[in-house]
Amino acid sequence: MRLAGRGSVEERLAAEDLGTAKKILCREPWESYYILRRGILPCCHGSRAIAPLEDWKTAWNSPAMQEIRSHLAKGRLSPYCFDSTGCPLVQRHFQEIQQRVEETQRQERWLATRFPVLRTMNRLLGHVPGKAYGRLFRALRSL
């Protein structure tokens, strides 16, 4: 059976096997929501209510909930998630960004001390060579 615009089941399974399919980042907003006195939360780590308590019947499919789900379904955090800094997924995301920034700074310092000409060229080329070097360095280190 073929679904319009989505490819056959075999094609989708093959794409998943190749790791090209987008994975849902977090399933919480599809599996549960929290009805509290202070309002409705899409997950246990939610920072603020997306609807008042009285709207508990309509909050499940509200635009706010759909927006959170649409971001997560594409494999990325939603703006709501970014506000929920108590969430372990959000914390891990920020830690990864921090690590990348520190690694880039380390590489730039290394370049600056050893190759001032390369550092200047890197700056002039918008730091593209430095980023490419960083990716290559990380790939080689993970082998």
Point out which residues bind ligand SF4 (CB under 6 A): 26, 28-29, 42-43, 45-46, 68, 77, 81, 84, 87, 89-90
- Which residues does 2 contact at the CB level (< 8 Å), separation at least 6? 8
Minimal distance in Å, beta carbon 47 to ligand SF4?
A: 8
The torsion angles phi and psi of 107, rounded to 5 degrees, stand at -65, -40
The overall longest dimension of the chain from CA atoms, in Å, is 64
Minimum CB distance to ligand SF4 smaller for 68 or for 111: 68
Minimal distance in Å, beta carbon 52 to ligand SF4?
A: 19
Minimum CB distance to ligand SF4 smaller for 84 or for 122: 84
The torsion angles phi and psi of 4, rounded to 5 degrees, stand at -60, 125
Minimal distance in Å, beta carbon 4 to ligand SF4?
A: 30
Minimum CB distance to ligand SF4 smaller for 80 or for 111: 80
Residue that is written with structure tokens 């379904």 in the block = 73
Strand 39-41 with 34-36, pairing: antiparallel
